[in-house]
């Protein structure tokens, strides 16, 4: 190993790969894997996709299936990033009861149905409050998948039934 290669190794941040599908604003879909930091500051384990996508950085590397090198994607040009629910699990939310709302979300020609978790104080427990909270992406839980939806791409949100019980 050359000295330059050794120096590059020293600057690498440990990452984990998570399977994901991206829907871009231009209509393109890309299946592949996203690189997430292997450790998080606020909890044990790897950083969750939701945390990574709501980070302030505008660009992130993505390895498309069947390609040998990653591409760099612009978060602002994404509509939806979908990951396995198990890869984006938030143990803190699983331990305490939190309000959940069923929603239908339209992003141009794309419609997503699922649940959003209202993990905020009671006086900010509406879907509207969740949409207006900081962070560029909203997580919509749909069974085995979490859809991270770019808030600025959302055109319409409807609650589709009474709020789910918190227990």
24 and 80 in a common domain? yes
Domain that residue 78 falls in:
3-84
Question: What average pLDDT is seen over the chain?
Answer: 85
Segment 62-119, tens digit of pLDDT: 999 999 899 999 999 999 999 999 876 666 556 667 789 999 999 988 999 999 998 8
**pLDDT at residue number 46:** 76
71 and 120 in a single domain? The answer is no
User: What is the number of domains present in the chain?
Assistant: 2
The CATH number of residue 136's host domain is 2.30.30
For residue range 116-132, list pLDDT tens digits in order.
Answer: 998 877 777 789 999 99
Give long-range contacts, CB 8 A cutoff, 24+ apart: 33-42. Answer: 33/62, 33/63, 33/65, 34/60, 34/61, 34/62, 34/63, 34/81, 34/83, 35/60, 35/61, 35/62, 35/63, 35/70, 37/13, 38/13, 38/14, 39/14
């Amino acid at each position: 190993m050359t000295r330059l290669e050794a120096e590059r190794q020293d600057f690498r941040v440990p990452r984990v790969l998570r399977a994901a599908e991206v829907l871009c604003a231009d209509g393109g879909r890309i299946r592949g894997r996203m690189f997430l930091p292997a450790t998080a500051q606020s909890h044990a384990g790897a950083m969750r996709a939701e945390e990574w996508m709501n980070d302030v950085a505008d660009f992130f590397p993505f390895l498309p299936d069947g390609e040998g090198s990653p591409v760099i994607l612009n978060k602002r040009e994404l509509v939806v990033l979908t990951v396995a629910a198990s890869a984006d699990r938030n143990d803190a939310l699983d331990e305490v009861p939190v309000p959940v709302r069923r929603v239908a979300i339209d992003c141009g020609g794309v419609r997503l149905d699922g649940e959003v978790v209202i993990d905020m104080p009671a006086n900010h427990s509406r879907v509207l409050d969740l949409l207006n909270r900081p962070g560029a992406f909203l997580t919509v839980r749909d069974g085995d998948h979490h859809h991270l939806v770019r808030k600025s791409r959302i055109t319409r949100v409807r609650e589709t039934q009474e709020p789910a019980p918190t227990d």
